[in-house]
Amino acid sequence: MHRRQLIQTGLSGLAVTAVGACATRPAADPAYPIRSDQNAQSYTADELVAAGSRELGIAAEAMGGAIERIFADQGDSPTAYIAGEEGSGAIVLGARYGRGALHMKDLSASQEVFWQGASIGWDWGGNASRVFTLVYGLYHPDMLYRRYPGVEGSAYLIGGVGVNYQRADGIVLAPVRTGVGLRLGANVGTMSYSRQRNILPF
């Protein structure tokens, strides 16, 4: 799918409804509570550097720097990663749509996943990005599908790399993005992950 198609729909619907959705804290999923006795095989730094540099098309040294920073902030035991692409744009109100594949060592095959989100804040510009997301605290793929609040403040340069964090109910997502375009400032919003594409960004 061309990245521009990821943002062609839904942008016109960003209004009061999107603002309300961004301010809503996601509810816990009672079907998949986070317990201390849950386990899943984790990925090593070397595995993630190899996969991330391949998926994003960047040098292993650049990917290694991003992984090192994420490990320092979140720990060295991510249990999954998502590789895909997305399109986004913002003029105060913005939207982001993406599609990728969820990988876990305990899965026999990767699973397709979609994400969409609305943002609010001092932000302008747009970008088309390849995304490699580390996932912490995920023990079953069904646990992924929910809304994740996040705060992002980054300056995107042509060919640059950006990292931010999204958290909900004990699960932490750390997207690493590369792409073209310009996106400056900070925005506050939610990112919703689903099994199918949704038009509304929440």
pLDDT in tens, 47-69: 999 999 999 999 998 899 889 98
Radius of gyration of the chain (CA): 16
0.85 surpassed by pTM: no
Its domain, for residue 91, covers 3-24+38-194
Question: What total of structural domains would you count in the chain?
Answer: 1
Letter string b/e over residues 90-105, b meaning 16 or more CB atoms within 10 A of that residue's CB? beebbbbbbbbebbbe
Which CATH number does the domain housing residue 189 bear? 2.40.128.480
As a whole number, mean pLDDT of residues 16-34 equals 40
Residue percentage of the chain with pLDDT more than 90: 39
Counts for the chain of helices (H) and strands (E), in that order:
3, 6
Structural domain includes residue 202: no
**Domain contains 91:** yes
Is the pLDDT at 140 greater than 50? The verdict is: yes
Q: Which band of pLDDT confidence, cut at 50, 70 and 90, is reported for residue 189?
A: low
Q: Which residue has the tokens 């603002």?
A: 19
CA–CA separation, 80 vs 187, rounded Å? 26
At 78 the three-state DSSP class reads coil
